[in-house]
Structure 1
Amino acid sequence: MDFLGNDNNKNNKEMLAIFQGESEEILERLFNNLFSLEDTPANKDLIGSIYRDLHSLKGAVRMVGFNNIQGIFHKMEDIFDAVNNDQFVLDKDIINLMSRSLETASRYLQESIKNGREIIDEEFTATLSNLEYILDIEMNEQTFRQNETIAEAGMVSGKESSGLSQYQEEINSSFNACFEIIDSIVPEEESQDIVILKEEVEKIYEFFKNSNLYEVKTSLENILAKLDFVMNATNTFTISEILELRNELSSAAAKFTTSCIETEEGGLTFFDIAEKISMLQGSSIYAKEIKDDIAQLKEGIDDQNIIEIINVINDILDFISENSVQLEEQMMMTLKGAVEYCASPNENIDNDLILQQLEIMKQLLELNYKKDTGVSEIKSLSTQTSSANKSNASTEIKTLHVNAQKLDLLVNQLGELIITKIKTEKNLEKIDSIKNANEACQKDLLKTSNYLRYYNRKYLQSGNTDQYTGVFVKQVFSLLLDITQNVSRTIYDLNSLYRASKEDDMKMRLIIDEMESMVKNIRVLPISTVFNSFSRMVRDIANEKGKDIDFEIEGKDTCADKKIIEEIKTPLIHILRNAIDHGIESKEERIANGKSPVGKILLSAKQDDNKVIIDVVDDGQGFNLEKIKDRAVSRGFLTQDDIDSMTDEAIMNIIFWPGFTTGDSITSISGRGIGLDVVKTKISQLNGKVKVISEFGKGSCVHIEIPVTLTTLRVFLVQISGQTFAIPIQVITTFILKNQNEIKTNNGVRSILFNGNIIPLYYLSDILELAPAPRNEKETILIIEADDKTIGLVVDKLLGDQDILQKKLSPPLYKVKNISGITNLASGELCLILNMQDIMHYDFNKAMISANNQELLTSDVLSYKRILIVDDSVTTRTMVKNILLNIGYMVDTVLDADEALVKLKLTHYDLIITDLTMPKIDGYEFIERLRNDEMYADIPIIVISSLPENQARKRLNKLSIAHYISKDNFDQADLAMQVKEILTKFHH
């Protein structure tokens, strides 16, 4: 049945989508089992599992019409069938060939699915030939040994073929002679053996030309035609032609021994029964007779596949007889083909395919011809239902393929339910508040009524007041009684509503919580979904690098969200490649270092609360800190001063920087400096963390922490400039309050002392470019730790932590700076979720510029002015450069006066900023040289130095500098203002 030949394009796509999911699952199991089989080639359980999967995949591939591709799976199935029956012995080379063949078939299968039609080429044909070659000698010899045994047992017969049984030995002898001749033919060389081979085949053909064994006869005629063509042409065979010839001859011999089944009563064959099937097209009365004939032949059959087909044929014949069905031609041909298959099983026709065709035919008959049986059918159905319940465990569908897009929609709808749940809770609080207010009002009204009653008794009834006052009081009293009664009814109704709403809320909360848990579990997959694919990759890369590696996996059953599973694969591939290429040493190095020649890599996963922890551990050489330092300096990532000021942990994490690599050469596996950068980026995008623990010479561990799910997120809500924002709670260490006098400013950077360490402090409103709120006497500060940095963020107000449903931004806002998503709060307010990865990589020099000095940045005077900074301190150079760049100047930097003089010859500068204490030529001499050269004498100069101003001024007064700034009291606003004023003065 060729589904791809169907004109219904929608059905084709649905069928291919279903098939693709099924085939990917089976292929994944096959790859993993083949990998495991390398270590235990005699493992019968593995061999049986592989055989069953190949059989299932072959049938599925055939069902969608990829008939050529199924040939590879069919040949592999034959090989493992032979292995399973101890007719074939596996070794490492054959298993490797199986793996390569499976990879080829998988590749062509994916391309064919993608294009909606089968795609094959010469590589595919070569793969199929390799598999046929494995089967060739061993399997053909086994077939003929079986043929001789069967012949001696006298199992071959038939009306015409019964006469051949007396020549069984002679025919088999001729077949064996043909195979001996074929084996002696040398490919691409002329041989007289071809003539002898043709004579032997003609001798065999003489036995069959008048028999009814048409398939054997046709095969022999094809072989003779090929031999005749070769003899009249080149008189040579290629190796593929020899293999094809031998297989066709083997097939003919096998069909000869199995075509006719003799019964003790007579010479009835399935071919005879097939001829009778055509009579069912006009009448159903022959159905019982055909069934009786089949029953005679069934007794002598041991093949369970054939027996299964016969049972379905009998069911169909019973239905035809009971319901007087006259078969249509198409159904008649299907039934006839199935009977002929029982007579001569064809290896090119899948047994399961025959069964499926018969089952479909059976269902169509029941649908179109079954008579209405009324009450009896209901009773029958009741009996069937009772019976089905008993076997429910075996027929229950335990796994469904769910479209991920539909699941995402369900998750979104669940999110709306969760928001409704929160809102309902808030509404209940409001009802409770109204109820309490009404109760208080009721008390006041009762108190007022009591006063009026007292007044009525005391004064009105005693006649101590005038009549108008009495009438007024009575009216007020009556009105208050009415109001009191109304309020009482309202309170009663509110109480009833509150109780009912609270009960409904409790039920809804339970249902939603349970539903949320179920949906999360639907999206959760075992991490083995990803881990299982790595064994083959590690083996292949290790073979390519000439290394022996023992790769172990632990914690396959650890589960995580589908999105996490999908996204974690790429980082793990890079980590494993890096471990194989850079971590594990060569065999010779390991032996020289006293290690086992076989390296070890352990990939493990475990769940810790709401996190999944993944470790990749290897016993290789580890990371060389000194090499990392040297590379960082030599490649221009850092200066030596920067390296000297960093901790070992910070230096180790340089390996995650974009473009950084410790590899000495670029290979197909690693060395380009993009791998571990991808790891860091991906893990951060998943709200996770990654770090490296390593001891040089002993090995390393890449430690990853990622959340179990991405649908819900624990956040801390903060208020900034009147707006509410959410910060993922995993990056928050704590929050503190600091007085303004505890916040220090050094070199333009605000900082605070926290746990004995000085950490930089920034206003989140500046980073998000929001209008700043008035500064408080005490600042509320969040301590943020992420990407190996610790900073303080000033916020206006803390609103508390909360679980939220994280949603992606809608188009066109796919990527907004500093924002990772959005959520709905219980109040109905939309809340933006901050992207802490963006914030931690923010250019904090922008945030250093005070809002009070923004007017300094807008003047046209600043445009197109170029400034040269001369300072041997990389910190000063970088900080001053960033401040001026952010304002809008063009800036160049050099580390000493010699370089500055070279720069000045090549470029015109409007301002020079220099230090005084520098190597070689100090600042004083540098400025003096400029003042003595008429080309540079008029360039204004600002000095930034750590020397006391009084001391420096003694020499500077003679050198006409424009301004002096002390590093001890450096203020970026002052620098910005002075630069602007000096440029305005000197260039106007």
Structure 2
Amino acid sequence: MTDIRKQLLAAFEVEHREHLHAIRKALDAAESGAPLDMADVFRRAHSLKGAARAVDLPAVEEVAHQLEALFSRILEGSQSLDPETVVAVRGNLDAIEDLVAEAQHPSGTAAVAAAKARRTPSTEDGAGASDCAPTEAKGAAPDKAEQGSDPGAGTYLRVAAAQVEELAGSMHQLLAELQADEAMSESLRQVELDVRNLRRSWDALQRQFLSGASKAAGGKASTARLRDFDQELKGLFRKLSSLARSHKLSAWATEQAARQLRENIERVSLVSAETVFGTFGHMVREIAREEGRNVHFRTLGLDIQADRQVLQALKDPVMHLLRNAVSHGAEDGPERAAKGKPERTEIVLELTSRNGRLAVSVRDDGRGPDLARIERVAVERGLLQPRAAGDPAPMMDQLLSLVFSPGFSTAGSVDRLSGRGMGLSVVAEAVRRLHGSVLLRPRYPWGTEALLSVPFSAARQPLLLVEAEGRMFGLPTHGVERLLRLNARALESVEGRPAARIDVRGQDVIVPVVALAALTGSPNAPIPIEAGHAKAVLVRHGARHCALAVNAFHDVRTMLVNEVQAIGLGETVSGTVLLEDELPALVLSPELLVEHWVRHEGRLAAGGLGLAEWKPEAEEHGATVLVVDDSITTRTLEKSILEAQGYRVLLSVDGIDALNVLRSGEAMVDLVIADVEMPRMDGFGLLQAIKTDPRLAAVPVILMTSRADPADVRRGLDLGASAYITKQKFDQRELLATIGQLL
């Protein structure tokens, strides 16, 4: 492959993903009821076609051309963007992604064949279904001589022009401050000369006193010299004071300019997650085809930006989690149908910003973790003690934390893709090297979620500096809930161990109080008490909390955290930092500290100590209400009324959209408020679908409509509506009272 060909393909790799992401995002927004900018979608398809032609990928060019033609017909009004067309468009977007991946890393004809199988529904103007079918062309895959990975291919980084301008401005500001510092150096040199002259005057004055000159003449001369010396000394002090003030201001300005420059450089080093995770859609589809699974893969938040090193370090762990979700989370069609699940297994990769950290969620609506199996394997491996009949089972979070132990697996056999437990220790280790944390938890009503939390930057982190038994430690602030000053007399005893009753997000939780030194190499270290109180840091991991008692709090700083390579530092150490005296301080992971306590205090942990009452995520809010109405005005009005009363509100634009929300398992819906007259599926159809679905039948439904005909009211109540409210007589007090009675 020629150098120019490499460069073109590398540029096209970035450009085509940008267009695909924008079109998919527009389709998602349109399905949620937002207006679709079809002109922009058409423009992107046209640009994609031209770019594919430029890099000689005729198969991609053909698919893009057919998409362009389709969008043109929609713009002209000769075809509608109905659900069937949207599905076909998404299929062709997947086909483009597969074709580009095949062109860059040839692995056979599977991707091309899959792309050729996709079709777009025919249109009223006579365009056949084959109009949007990708065709195989001689340029679909490179020659065999070009196959395989090319280590010489360059890496391209797209940087916004505004960021480059900010970087240049910061550099100019720093240079100006450095020039001012040069002027300060000249002033210092002048002060040095003044000091030397003053020293010469003082030496001469000393010789005059010792010369034995006549007392009268010597006295007058001495007085004059002393007066001059005094004036020179005062002048020198004034210069020194002025210089000290100027230097202080210059140092502050230089520090600010350097900090701004560093921040701008760090921002330039951030890249979109799309550049690293953008190929996973193709990978998941390939694995699903190989495994014979019917999978729908979605990505959310790939436009978020993070340090490229962080994203690259997460690539393999996320890939492993996705492989497991397909191979061992997804169920066969009959198994899903028996459980009342949708036909296709949904797997979602989502990136978000939470508490200043990058959160990566890999979730599915498959089988979910087998807690009983995990416990059996843990007992077999000696990680848990066998429990007698009638003893309570270990807490869920304790069991799920065990799957990250090295070599832990619940798989009955090892296959090419490995079991859900196999390799999770590798995932956890990769995340911990980034000073992050990982959680595995079930989803409700079904499925599994792996949640990774890491810093946006690979190096710099905000740290709370604390002292314990004469040693300094750093705790990343993301895991610190708050700082405590506990009355020693108020501490309680749980099975002989100190604990404190603390309000955690409105819940009264008994939290273990552990000397930080006891978790960092001094097992018998007592809790430090000063003036009848203990200073403690409340840390968390998932729903588990622990209060770490320390001798002193020192500072909160953003510091450069270095890798830790030394042996014997303990499993809780995630890195080191250098303090002012050039002595290293250990950086401790709050999550690993809590896990360490859970593992070594298993009996107390199993009893729920430090664990707030667990609830599914949706229950952390008020009851969840799904509002279904095709009028954006009505939806907005009802949403504002309900949220003002503390309810969590979800919105849908029609019955089909509402059913997708209810059956997806993304949220536990407690009540549905639906309009009757809606496109695609009206309120009566939605009500009937809910009441005939065993999983949803218990959800109360309120019909709210302008149709006040007694026959319509009777029909709604006969179908199972819990209440029927007419919009003509709408009173928010009546609505809220009705909801209160039903919930």
TM-score normalised per structure 2: 0.51
Deviations 1:787-829, CA, capped at 9 Å, x for gaps: 88755555454322111133446xxx5777355444444x463
Counterpart pick for 1:106 among 96, 99, 104: 104
Residue matched to 1:690: 438
Matched, 1:840 2:593: yes
Residue matched to 1:25: 14
Residue matched to 1:717: 465
Q: Would the aligned equivalents of 1:529 and 1:565 in 2 still touch at CA under 8 Å? A: no
Q: Would the aligned equivalents of 1:712 and 1:805 in 2 still touch at CA under 8 Å? A: yes
Aligned positions of 1:383-402 closer than 5 A: none
Distance change in 2, residues 1:688/1:57 (3 Å)? same
Deviations 1:113-169, CA, capped at 9 Å, x for gaps: xxxxxxxxxx88x999999x99xxxxxxxxxxxxxxxxxxxxxxxxxxxxxxxxxxx
Answer 1 or 2: which has greater helix percent. 1
* Equivalent-residue separation in structure 1 for 2:18 and 2:547 (angstroms): 50
Counterpart pick for 1:492 among 238, 256, 275: 238
Deviations 1:79-123, CA, capped at 9 Å, x for gaps: 87799899xxx9999999987765454236xxxxxxxxxxxxxx8
Question: How far has the Cα of 1:47 moved from its partner?
Answer: 6.0
Matched, 1:674 2:672: no
Counterpart pick for 1:638 among 374, 384, 401: 384
SS of 1:659's equivalent in the other structure is: coil
Distance change in 2, residues 1:684/1:644 (3 Å)? farther
Report the identity percentage: 20
Matched, 1:657 2:657: no
Q: Would the aligned equivalents of 2:464 and 2:474 in 1 still touch at CA under 8 Å? A: yes
Q: Would the aligned equivalents of 2:464 and 2:557 in 1 still touch at CA under 8 Å? A: yes
Instruction: Give the letter aligned to residue 371 of structure 2.
Output: L
Counterpart pick for 2:557 among 802, 808, 815: 802
SS of 2:439's equivalent in the other structure is: strand
* Equivalent-residue separation in structure 2 for 1:475 and 1:753 (angstroms): 80
Residue matched to 1:66: none
Q: Would the aligned equivalents of 1:553 and 1:604 in 2 still touch at CA under 8 Å? A: yes
Distance change in 2, residues 1:79/1:780 (3 Å)? closer
* Equivalent-residue separation in structure 2 for 1:617 and 1:557 (angstroms): 19
* Equivalent-residue separation in structure 2 for 1:93 and 1:594 (angstroms): 26
* Equivalent-residue separation in structure 1 for 2:375 and 2:111 (angstroms): 53
* Equivalent-residue separation in structure 1 for 2:89 and 2:597 (angstroms): 62
Residue matched to 2:250: 504
SS of 1:596's equivalent in the other structure is: coil
Deviations 1:720-767, CA, capped at 9 Å, x for gaps: 5655443322334445567999999999x9755463636363463883
Matched, 1:561 2:307: yes
Counterpart pick for 2:514 among 758, 761, 767: 761
Deviations 1:821-878, CA, capped at 9 Å, x for gaps: 44444x4634334243897399899x99xxxxxxxxxxxxxxxxxxxxxxxx999xxx
Question: How far has the Cα of 1:714 moved from its partner?
Answer: 0.7
Instruction: Give the letter aligned to residue 596 of structure 1.
Output: P
Residue matched to 2:196: none
Residue matched to 1:582: 328
Question: How far has the Cα of 1:534 moved from its partner?
Answer: 2.0
Distance change in 2, residues 1:486/1:820 (3 Å)? farther
Counterpart pick for 1:706 among 449, 454, 457: 454
Instruction: Give the letter aligned to residue 798 of structure 1.
Output: F
Question: How far has the Cα of 1:519 moved from its partner?
Answer: 0.8
Q: Would the aligned equivalents of 1:621 and 1:697 in 2 still touch at CA under 8 Å? A: no
SS of 2:359's equivalent in the other structure is: strand
Distance change in 2, residues 1:478/1:801 (3 Å)? farther
* Equivalent-residue separation in structure 2 for 1:783 and 1:636 (angstroms): 30
Instruction: Give the letter aligned to residue 362 of structure 2.
Output: V
Q: Would the aligned equivalents of 2:545 and 2:594 in 1 still touch at CA under 8 Å? A: no
Distance change in 2, residues 1:550/1:562 (3 Å)? same
TM-score normalised per structure 1: 0.40
* Equivalent-residue separation in structure 2 for 1:771 and 1:590 (angstroms): 53
Q: Would the aligned equivalents of 1:743 and 1:752 in 2 still touch at CA under 8 Å? A: yes
Deviations 1:231-257, CA, capped at 9 Å, x for gaps: xxxxxxxxxxxx99xx9xxxxxxxxxx
* Equivalent-residue separation in structure 2 for 1:530 and 1:550 (angstroms): 20
Instruction: Give the letter aligned to residue 461 of structure 2.
Output: L
Residue matched to 1:572: 318
Counterpart pick for 1:616 among 362, 365, 372: 362
Relative contact order, higher structure (CA 8 A, sep 6+): 2
Distance change in 2, residues 1:623/1:470 (3 Å)? farther
Instruction: Give the letter aligned to residue 803 of structure 1.
Output: T
* Equivalent-residue separation in structure 2 for 1:705 and 1:599 (angstroms): 25
SS of 2:351's equivalent in the other structure is: strand
Structure 2 residues not aligned, in runs of 5+? 29-40, 71-87, 118-135, 144-155, 189-214, 503-508, 605-743
Q: Would the aligned equivalents of 1:605 and 1:612 in 2 still touch at CA under 8 Å? A: yes
Residue matched to 1:451: none
Deviations 1:540-564, CA, capped at 9 Å, x for gaps: 2222333323322222222212122
Deviations 1:475-505, CA, capped at 9 Å, x for gaps: 9998986675455323321332133224423
* Equivalent-residue separation in structure 2 for 1:715 and 1:498 (angstroms): 32
Q: Would the aligned equivalents of 1:789 and 1:840 in 2 still touch at CA under 8 Å? A: no
Distance change in 2, residues 1:49/1:549 (3 Å)? farther
* Equivalent-residue separation in structure 2 for 1:700 and 1:689 (angstroms): 17
* Equivalent-residue separation in structure 1 for 2:158 and 2:451 (angstroms): 33
Q: Would the aligned equivalents of 1:590 and 1:597 in 2 still touch at CA under 8 Å? A: yes
Instruction: Give the letter aligned to residue 654 of structure 1.
Output: L
* Equivalent-residue separation in structure 1 for 2:94 and 2:488 (angstroms): 71
Aligned positions of 1:377-526 closer than 5 A: 485-526=231-272
Residue matched to 2:569: 817
SS of 2:347's equivalent in the other structure is: strand
Residue matched to 2:375: 629
SS of 1:817's equivalent in the other structure is: coil
Deviations 1:342-378, CA, capped at 9 Å, x for gaps: xxxxxx9xxxxxxxxxxxxxxxxxxxxxxxxxxxxxx
Structure 1 residues not aligned, in runs of 5+? 5-14, 59-72, 109-122, 135-242, 248-347, 349-398, 432-468, 849-872, 876-988
Aligned positions of 1:545-556 closer than 5 A: 545-556=291-302
Matched residue pairs, number?
485
Question: Higher mean Cα deviation, 691-700 or 506-515?
Answer: 691-700
Answer 1 or 2: which has greater strand percent. 2
* Equivalent-residue separation in structure 1 for 2:284 and 2:112 (angstroms): 28
Distance change in 2, residues 1:98/1:723 (3 Å)? closer
* Higher alpha-carbon Rg: 1
Question: How far has the Cα of 1:46 moved from its partner?
Answer: 6.9
Deviations 1:565-611, CA, capped at 9 Å, x for gaps: 11222222233233333333322122222222123233322224522
Counterpart pick for 2:55 among 54, 57, 65: 57
Cα RMSD between the aligned structures? 5.9
Instruction: Give the letter aligned to residue 25 of structure 1.
Output: V
Matched, 1:726 2:482: no
Q: Would the aligned equivalents of 1:684 and 1:837 in 2 still touch at CA under 8 Å? A: no
Distance change in 2, residues 1:829/1:618 (3 Å)? same
Question: Higher mean Cα deviation, 532-541 or 606-615?
Answer: 606-615
SS of 2:239's equivalent in the other structure is: helix
Instruction: Give the letter aligned to residue 507 of structure 1.
Output: A
* Equivalent-residue separation in structure 2 for 1:494 and 1:646 (angstroms): 70
Aligned positions of 1:339-358 closer than 5 A: none
Q: Would the aligned equivalents of 2:515 and 2:526 in 1 still touch at CA under 8 Å? A: no
